[in-house]
Amino acid sequence: MEKVIIIGGGPAAISMAKIMGGKKHITIIRPENHSMIYCAMPYVIENLIPFNKTLKKDSLVTDTGATLIRDRVEKVDFEQKHVHTEKGNVYTYDKLVIATGADPVLPPIQGTDLQGVLTFKTEDDLKRIVDLAENGLRKAVVVGAGAIGIELAQALNSRGVQTHLVDMEEQVLPNLLDKEMAEEVEDELVRLGLTLHLGHKVLSLHGKRFAREVALDKGHTIHLETADNCSEDHEENVTPSLVVFAVGMRPNTGIFAGTMLATGRDGIVINDKMETNIEDVYAVGDCTQFTSAVTGDVSPGKLATNAVPMGKLLARNMLGSNERYNGFYNGAATKAGNYYVGGTGLSEKAARDRMDVIVGYADLTTAFPIMPSAGSVRVKLIAEKGSLRIVGGQIVSELPATDKVDLITMAVQFGLTAQDLRIFSYSSQPYQSYFPANNILVHAAENILEQDGAETIKKAS
Ligand SMILES: Cc1cc2nc3c(=O)[nH]c(=O)nc-3n(C[C@H](O)[C@H](O)[C@H](O)COP(=O)(O)OP(=O)(O)OC[C@H]3O[C@@H](n4cnc5c(N)ncnc54)[C@H](O)[C@@H]3O)c2cc1C
């Protein structure tokens, strides 16, 4: 049986084992004790779920018939087809899959070696944050107002930790929402009690054991002292502080530095069949560099919802299929207080760098407006001017939104236009949607067509 070694134990690797286990001789090599459900980590801090529920069972891999080895790969000899590990073992492969993921970036600034300065990905990160929260943590700074940053900041805030959220962009969720859609989210985060520092870069951290000051640009400083930690010389007075950087991910490709494996800024260079530049060597998930399905340009896509389809496609191909990967649409979602928030495809800002666009909005309710449960829902659709092809969309809703994000992704993926969405056939029910008289996506598409029609009339007259 063909021997396939997969380096890494994240969702990309596990989904491959599920498809190929028993049909190929699969070996997964990963160092950590447990694979984790990273997405759920903030909700452990929030005390919504117990820590052990975020740990994936080894049987997810071993039940497939695959072998799981706890070790770290230190070197790959691509010529000999050998994998060398930290524990001194050497394994031989027929085919190698690299699924080493990405590590959070800790910026090279003064003070990141202080206690309580962390990133947020591993079991250890989570344990240390929970430990601090349970042992006197009163003030925290989260740097990076992307989805991970705002989920973590809310979790800390919910435990009574006074939390500051910093981002160098002038808005939260800069990779998910356009500025005007983010405003409602920002208001909600402030309502919850978070202090936002938008449009500010962190320059340095200062303190003796823990950070006591976070210096921002434009002359701003966040003070993390509390009454009882002003004198850190007395051991017993030291109240901890926490500074977490959630400022992006860097592909985990260090072990391949200086080898013949081709890498780019975002990771290992692959083609649409997950093949690297080396024969019989493939890469999937966060460790790879790939393109946007909308623009064809290299695009960051460090999401489990990209890693899993990449792994599945490669596994099917290894079993004889001949499929090609389109690229990233980057549909993603998060939650801010009472709002469920999501986006997909190109933002208006990103789209305008490449094409003329028309933007449509719809503001309806999540249930019939006469129902007591009715909340607000706002959708934005972005269409290319002329073709009216949908290239992206965003949603801020008081009901879970991933189903709508996914519908918009489907529209982008299958080349639907605003005209197509106007006649899209929908369902309606008093608890679950606006009146049958309208649908949130149809309404936003109508808004695009009204503007397009007005322009046509303007041009004709
Ligand atoms: C807090 C948090 C929340 C997130 N929330 C979401 C979300 O809501 N939705 C979403 O789609 N995505 C989310 N993500 C992103 C998602 O977790 C990643 O995109 C996904 O885990 C990538 O899967 P992967 O298999 O490519 O890599 P990873 O899951 O990073 O796995 C990489 C594996 O490779 C191993 N490895 C690395 N180097 C070596 C080596 N030298 N030898 C052996 N093994 C090695 C690692 O130990 C690990 O097991 C979140 C991430 C974080 C951190």
Span from the CA of 11 to the centroid of ligand 1 (angstroms): 7
Q: For each of the domains in the chain, give its residue range(s) and CATH number, in order of start.
A: 3-103+249-318 (3.50.50.60), 117-245 (3.50.50.60), 339-460 (3.30.390.30)
Pick the atom of ligand 1 nearest to 333's CA. Answer: 8
Q: What is the pLDDT of residue 235?
A: 53
Task: Tell me the whole-structure pTM to 2 decimals.
Answer: 0.95
Q: Which atom of ligand 1 is nearest to the CA of 255?
A: 41
Report the residue among 303, 306, 344 best suited for mutation to probe ligand 1: largest number of ligand atoms under 8 A from its CB: 303
Taking the centre of ligand 1 as the mean of its atom positions, its distance from the CA of residue 300, in whole angstroms, is: 14
Q: How far is the CA of 251 from the centre of ligand 1 (A)?
A: 10
Provide residues with CB under 6 Å of ligand 1.
7-13, 29-32, 35, 38-39, 41, 72-73, 99-102, 120-121, 148, 252, 255, 285-286, 302-305, 307
pLDDT at residue 454 in the model:
77
Q: How far is the CA of 423 from the centre of ligand 1 (A)?
A: 39
- pLDDT at site 164: 98
Q: Going by CA atoms, what residue is nearest to atom 19 of ligand 1? A: 303
Distance 363 CA to ligand 1 centre (A): 36
- CA of 403 relative to ligand 1 center, distance in Å: 23
Positions in the chain short of pLDDT 70: 227-237, 460-461
Residue nearest to atom 38 of ligand 1 (CA): 100
Which atom of ligand 1 is nearest to 249's Cα?
Answer: 53
Report the C-alpha gap between 458 and 445 in whole angstroms. 20
Looking at residue 230, what is its pLDDT?
A: 58
Nearest-atom index, ligand 1, CA of 14? 25
Number of the ligand 1 atom closest to the C-alpha atom of 85: 42
pLDDT tens track for 312-365: 999 999 999 999 999 999 999 999 999 999 999 999 999 999 999 999 999 999
Q: What is the pLDDT of residue 232?
A: 55
**460 alpha carbon – ligand 1 mean position (Å):** 54
